[in-house]
Every structure is written in structure tokens, then in C-alpha cells.
């Protein structure tokens, strides 16, 4: 019984590390996605500004 409890304690520590790794990976993917969308937004705003500048004499 003591060995089973000791093994369970070790497994919980490893589980925490896996959860932190998954969370870090998720945050990394979210940051990359946000950066890609920001570059698309910048292009869109640039085109909109050019269109407004051309429309206003």
C-alpha cells in the first residue's frame, strides 16, 4: 500500500509538468496566431488609408 501511494505522488508531479508544457505550447500557438493576424490587419489598414487618400481630393 505504501508503494502505491508513493507511486501516485510521483505521477502527480509528472502530471503538473505535462500540464505546464501543454499550457506553454497553447500560449505559443496563440501568440503566433495573433502576430499573423496583426500583420494582415496592418495590410488592410494600409489599403484602407490609400483608398481614403485617393477618394479625398
The Cα–Cα gap between 10 and 31 comes to 32
CA separation, residue 38 to residues 12, 44, 51, 53 (Å): 39, 10, 20, 22
The Cα–Cα gap between 5 and 7 comes to 5
The Cα–Cα gap between 13 and 20 comes to 11
More confident residue, 18 or 46: 46
- pTM greater than 0.75: no
CA atoms within 13 A on the CB side of 24: 6
Tens of pLDDT along 30-57?
999 998 888 888 889 999 999 999 998 7
Amino acid at each position: 500500500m505504501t508503494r502505491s501511494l508513493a507511486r501516485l505522488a510521483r505521477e502527480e508531479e509528472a502530471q503538473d509538468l505535462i500540464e505546464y508544457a501543454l499550457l506553454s505550447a497553447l500560449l505559443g500557438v496563440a501568440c503566433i496566431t495573433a502576430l499573423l493576424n496583426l500583420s494582415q490587419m496592418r495590410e488592410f489598414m494600409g489599403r484602407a488609408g490609400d483608398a481614403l487618400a485617393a477618394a479625398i481630393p
